[in-house]
Structure 1
Amino acid sequence: MTNDTSTANLTVEAPTRAQTAIDAVAEAYTETLLQLDPGFATQLGLPGHETEYRDYSPAGLEAFAEATRETLDRLDDLEPTDGVDAVTLDAMRERLGLELEIHETGLNLANLNNLACPAQEIRMIFDLMPTDTAEQWGHIAGRLCNVPDAVGGYITSLREGKNRGIVPAARQIRIVMEQTAAYAADGGYFDEFVGGAQSRDDGGLPDSVRSDLAAGAEAARNAYRHLSTFLTEELLPDAPEKDAVGRERYSLMSRQFLGATIDLEETYQWGVEELDRLISEQEAVANEIREGATIEEAMRILDESPERQLHGTDALQAWMQNLSDRAVDELSGMHFEIPEIMQEIECMIAPTKEGGIYYTGPSDDFSRPGRMWWSVPEGEDTFTTWKETTTVYHEGVPGHHLQIATATYQRGLLNSWRRNAVWVSGHGEGWALYAERLMEDLGYLSDPGDRLGMLDAQRMRAARVVFDIGVHLELEIPERWGSGTWTPEAGYEFLKKNIAISEGQLNFEFNRYLGWPGQAPSYKIGQRLWEQIRDEVKQREGETFNLRDFHSRALNLGSVGLDTLRRALLS
């Protein structure tokens, strides 16, 4: 690769351009989304809808669909005036057209899984709400009181899906039953959350707000109890035990998460070969750690190394923050353009114990910085840095934070839809996985332990390609890993052999893949497509190719489907 090794700290000025007719349509659509989904406004840090929720009922879903149809109709008569317009038109037609296609299937009436559905979304919005003032706690009280309507609309959609014969798999329903029961429990999430405000003794919280918070917490608990009961008594009896969704649905979900159409069999075979290649790389690095060591032995050596251990979530949070800050400081200007306003990342321990590590973007004005969240499963208290160094790069810089904050920053270049309303998993997660491997290329994983951690993460993502496509399409198991066709049970044993994580994390991941078809493979497939596009651009540009400039051009497009990205960078 060609790298610009200049160490000057860049002062990056965001470009500006005049708004076009296509931008106006995109802005109007984004404003409609904000009206239809107040939680979206909260994500962006925009005032005015702090106590509200979207309508999760079938009528609410249809309102989104109608806004999408109207927007596509308005775009039909417009021609792009420049390259930015061309990408907007390409991206909107692909994303919005696919949304309508999914809506027509009715699959959004059965939106339920262990990680990313309204059951979690309705609760998670409170993680993003500020809690500094009495007014802000008043907003929280108001939204808590509206949880019953949000949950009620969601139940109505699930019931309508059931009536149409569209029901989530029983495994996912059982998991969400447990989650919602935990939210609803006395002393559970809502009590703990509100308790933090109730225990304040600084005199800053009026009695009226305390009373409203108590009432809101009770309303939210009762709503989640109702949801848990509905899932148990009404939805579960009609749920299929089979987890595999089949080719038709899987192809649709793959397009949703990639923004690209792929050959599923070819990709499955590539995943098998990529997994074999990564195992060979791991074996070589294990030998560096101790001559003759197996991968498992090398990992055990690293796990038992005191200097690579962290004890407690406070130590984990401090380590994440230090490593993240150092990456921003050292990469800014040399390898990436990182304006000063983008250079703050907050590393947080999530308030839940469900497992998973995730990133939330900055508010539109950057007053709330981008945040890296770690949801630590119950009972886990020891963490190893060798395994998680690459995770910090994935979630922070040069991964998700650089990517998402760059799009937010480009106010003068991109319309609001491009900056804030589009998230394509294969683009975003593919970039973050690309960033992990790039950090090795840049010399940040020279320590064999940290490099083995990166390879372990890459191996996990390759295994997910094999598992996800194999299980959901019920393909043949590769000879190295067994015989016959994939089942969830065979897949679990396969994951145990290829993902070096705790049992709690493994169970979380296994259930996630079964309930969110097409999402998990989008990381590794997205990385593959990012690297293919980069290499094609490099071949075309020859000696003039500059890696930092390529990254800037690509990230300044915002999150788009990977077919759109290819056309934008190679047309």
Structure 2
Amino acid sequence: MRLFTASLAAALLSTSAFPALAKEGDDAASDGVLYSSDTELIGLYEEYSKWQMHESGQGEEPLETAIPSVAPEANLRRAADAQVFLGRLDAIDGQALSQTERVNAAVLRSVLTEQIQNARFREWEMPFDSDTNFWSYLAPTSGFRTVEDYDEYIALMRDLPRYFAEHTANARTGLARGFSVPKVTLSGRDASLEAYIGDDIEANPFWTAFEQMPAHFTEAEQTRLQNEGRHTIMRSVRPAFTDLLSFLRDEYIPNSRTTLAAEAMPEGPAYYAQQIRQYTTLDLTADQIHLIGLDEVARIEAAMREIMAEVGFDGTIAQFNEKLRTDPEFIAKTPDELMGVSAYVAKRVDGAIGDYFGFLPRHRFSIRPVAPDIAPFYTAGRGGYEYCQMNTYDLPSRPLYNIPALTLHECAPGHSFQAAFQREQGGEDTPEFRRRIYFSGMGEGWGLYTEFLGEEMGIYRTPYEKFGRLSYEMWRAARLVIDTGIHSKDWTRDLAITYLADRTALSRHEVGTEIDRYISWPGQALAYKLGEMQIRLLRTKAETELGDDFDIRKFHDIILALGSVPLPVLEQRIEDFIADGGQGLAGVSYD
């Protein structure tokens, strides 16, 4: 099946920004001798890691505040420090690095460049969007293990008024210069703060931790902590959220910009180009991406028509999508029914996963519903190390034929599996500064690739589930057209909604929340499809060149063991995989 045109494939596969990696046999680990620049680089990123820890408040020397400052002077100082680190990295001879350290150098360069570029455009002046914000994940969902943990938590709560005030001041500055979230995407988003301002302290999400205190705490400790917690929620948490809610409702939302495009903001074209590079890690223009999207949309539409013919539907793709999204056969009657479908998909993946991966992580994840305070505006699901999430809000908007693809992407062998694999395979050998880095192009590209992999694994059992998979792929392909259309080609919100709704079986509710996400978060939506296309292209190349020596388990293991890296680094690693005859991971049996 044609993935994309040769010219667009050439645009995707370009590693000019990164020097070629050394051969596997030349790596420091193979001969016990460090390359001449390795020690210098290791010293640099270890120093950078300590700097990171200090700036996040986790270093040996405590910060003056419980939560790191987000004031402009603090952000500018961090950017200046990043520029110094980048200058030192530039002075290291990249050709005198081992394979492992060339990867680390490439990752460090990308991270530092992103910090510097974010400061150039003062991204902190738009500290939230329609999907993500700074206030929703501060309250823990369970208790802590030690008294010291609770004391630190209480200190964090006491610091919220200062922290929120800094974000508010930043947002007010952005608002004044036209650097704001578009107004059309903010309707109802302020409702997520209401749970934090009620009179009932024990109904406040910040109280949850005090309801789940360890049994080994003494009665005196529990009483003290609960009294301090109750007082701090009353005196610090509620006022901070109340002030923030007033700011959003009375000042920010009424005065936010009425334009949609990132290119309509100050330095807009340069800003959007930077967002594209940041999220895709590729050197592509908006026009190139738009054409890639159109090409992919046409390819997927042809595959959709094949399934429509299989089930005997005589009509357009838009009409078939409308039939699916309104058919009660595909709607869960309870949240548990939807969660059960997802859980069963995950268990069926367990039965096939050994045929596709040589290394299987020991860690087990759970599946949880999205928290109710954010679910109305949240995406369909999200993956993570401890658990993946399924959105059970408004069940008619979550058709069951989409759940297999969503579970593959968010849970296994997508993000939850990916996180466990990389943590266990990398372990202590992964430099500290890389353990919390996430490149969307590779990470989200992997998630979408696993939806495609579900076809080979036999996860999709009906034509409708297969159509759901294609609909999800179309969702990501359409993003290439929509994101660039909105931010560089003057698309309206209605045009974007119609384009997505006509081509996918997503519910009307989900179409609306997704379009608002793309409007308010320029560039991020581009990472998924471009990353997946590159992984599939690299797989095709490896299969072709290795022939009978190609082992899908080794190919997948090599990708995930690399960790989160820019896409050009992944490409170079697969070139080396091909050159060494398709070798898998050391210490893993592929018999």
The TM-score bracket by the shorter chain reads 0.7 to 0.9
Alignment of 1:518-557 (within 5 A): 518-557=523-562
Pairwise CA distance, 1:509: 1.0
Output aligned runs, 1:507-526, within 5 Å.
507-526=512-531
Q: Is the 8 A contact 1:533 1:566 kept in 2?
A: yes
Is the Cα contact below 8 Å between 1:312 and 1:381 reproduced in 2? no
Distance of 2:388 and 2:106 partners within structure 1:
31
C-alpha deviation, 1:548, in angstroms? 1.8
Determine if the alignment matches structure 1 residue 243 to structure 2 residue 270.
no
Aligned to 2:111: 95
Query: Is the aligned partner of 1:231 residue 2:251?
Result: no
Aligned partner of residue 311 in structure 1, secondary structure? coil
1:222 aligns with 2:245: no
Q: 1:484-512: per-residue Cα shift (whole Å, max 9, x none)?
A: x6212221222222333333322221210
From 104, 126, 137, the equivalent of 2:139 is 126
Does residue 1:457 correspond to 2:445, yes or no?
Answer: no
Could you tell me which residue of structure 1 aligns to residue 128 of structure 2? Answer: 112
Alpha-carbon contact 2:313-2:320 (below 8 Å) kept: no
Matched with 1:60 is 74
> CA 1:174 to 1:235, structure 2 compared with 1: closer, same or farther past 3 Å?
same
Which of 40, 44, 56 pairs up with 1:25? Answer: 44
Q: Which amino acid aligns with 2:418?
A: Q
**Whole-Å separation in 1 of the counterparts to 2:321 and 2:494:** 28
In 2, the alpha carbon distance for the partners of 1:372 and 1:334 equals 23
Q: Deviations over 1:311-361 (max 9, x none)?
A: 322333344334324423430x3211343423x011111223232244454
* Cα offset, 1:106, TM superposition: 1.8
Q: Partner of 1:153 in structure 2?
A: 166
Q: 2:378: which partner in 1?
A: 355
Deviation at 1:558, TM superposition (A): 0.9
SS across alignment from 2:389:
strand
User: Over aligned residues, Cα RMSD in angstroms?
Assistant: 3.4
Q: TM-score, normalised by structure 1?
A: 0.82
> What is the aligned partner in structure 1 of residue 24 from structure 2?
none
Query: How far has the Cα of 1:65 moved from its partner?
Result: 1.5
* Aligned equivalents of 1:99, 1:250: Cα separation in 2: 16
For 1:172-321, list aligned pairs within 5 A: 172=185, 174-181=187-194, 183-186=196-199, 191-194=204-207, 197-198=210-211, 206-218=222-234, 219-236=236-253, 238-246=255-263, 247-290=269-312, 292=314, 296-297=319-320, 300=323, 304=327, 309-321=331-343
d(CA) in 1 for partners of 2:278 and 2:403? Answer: 29
Secondary structure, counterpart of 1:372 in structure 2: strand
Contact 1:84–1:414 (8 Å) recurs in 2: no
Contact 1:325-1:345 at 8 Å conserved across structures: no
How far apart, CA to CA, are the structure 2 residues paired with 1:24 and 1:324?
A: 42
Tell whether 2:496 aligns with 1:491. Answer: yes
**Are the equivalent residues in 2 in contact too, given 1:429–1:523 (CA < 8 A)?**
yes
- Report the Cα offset of residue 375 of structure 1: 3.8
Distance in structure 2 (CA, Å) of the matches to 1:130 and 1:460? 38
Contact 1:309 1:385 in 2 (8 A): yes
**Identity over the aligned pairs, expressed in percent?**
21
Distance 1:242 1:188 in 2: 40
CA contact (8 A) 1:356 1:376 kept: no
Of 318, 336, 353 in structure 1, the residue corresponding to residue 357 of structure 2 is: 336
Residue aligning to 1:346: 366
C-alpha spacing 1:321/1:22, structure 2 compared with 1 (3 Å): farther
Q: What SS is found at the alignment partner of 2:387?
A: strand
Task: Flag the 1:182–1:193 CA change in 2: closer, same or farther, 3 A.
Answer: closer
Q: Distance in 2 between matches of 1:492 and 1:301?
A: 17
Instruction: Describe how 1:445-484 pairs up with structure 2 within 5 A.
Output: 445-474=460-489
Gaps of 5+ in 2: 2-28, 264-268, 577-591
- Aligned pair 1:504/2:520, yes or no? no
**Aligned CA distance change for structure 1 residues 115 and 309 (closer, same or farther; 3 Å):** closer
Go from structure 1 to structure 2 and tell me whether the alpha carbon gap of 1:348 and 1:338 turns closer, same or farther (over 3 Å shift). farther
In 1, Cα distance between the equivalents of 2:86 and 2:432? 17
In structure 2, distance between residues paired with 1:125 and 1:269 = 40
| Mean Cα deviation higher: 402-411 or 344-353 | 402-411
The 3 A distance-change label for structure 1 pair 286 and 223 is same
1:117 alignment partner, SS class: coil
Deviates more, 1:132-141 or 1:100-109: 132-141
Q: Match of 1:30, as an amino acid?
A: S
Partner of 1:406: 421
Task: Kindly state the Cα deviation for residue 193 of structure 1 after the two structures are TM-superposed.
Answer: 4.9
Q: Which is worse superposed, 449-458 or 401-410?
A: 401-410
Query: Residue 54 of structure 2 aligns with which residue?
Result: 35
With over 3 angstroms needed to count, the CA separation of the structure-2 counterparts of 1:297 and 1:467, relative to structure 1, is closer
> What letter is aligned with 2:170?
S
8 Å contact from structure 2 (residues 126, 170) kept in 1: yes
CA shift, 1:202, in A, is: 7.5
Distance 1:320 1:153, change over 3 A: same
Q: How far has the Cα of 1:132 moved from its partner?
A: 6.1
TM-superposed CA distance for 1:100, in Å, is: 0.6
Separation of aligned partners in 1, 2:358 and 2:39: 27
**Cα distance, 1:450 vs structure 2:** 1.6
The match for 2:401 is 386
Q: How big is the shift at 1:63?
A: 3.7
Q: Is the 8 A contact 2:154 2:232 kept in 1?
A: yes
How many aligned residue pairs are there?
A: 526
**Deviation of the 1:127 alpha carbon:** 4.4
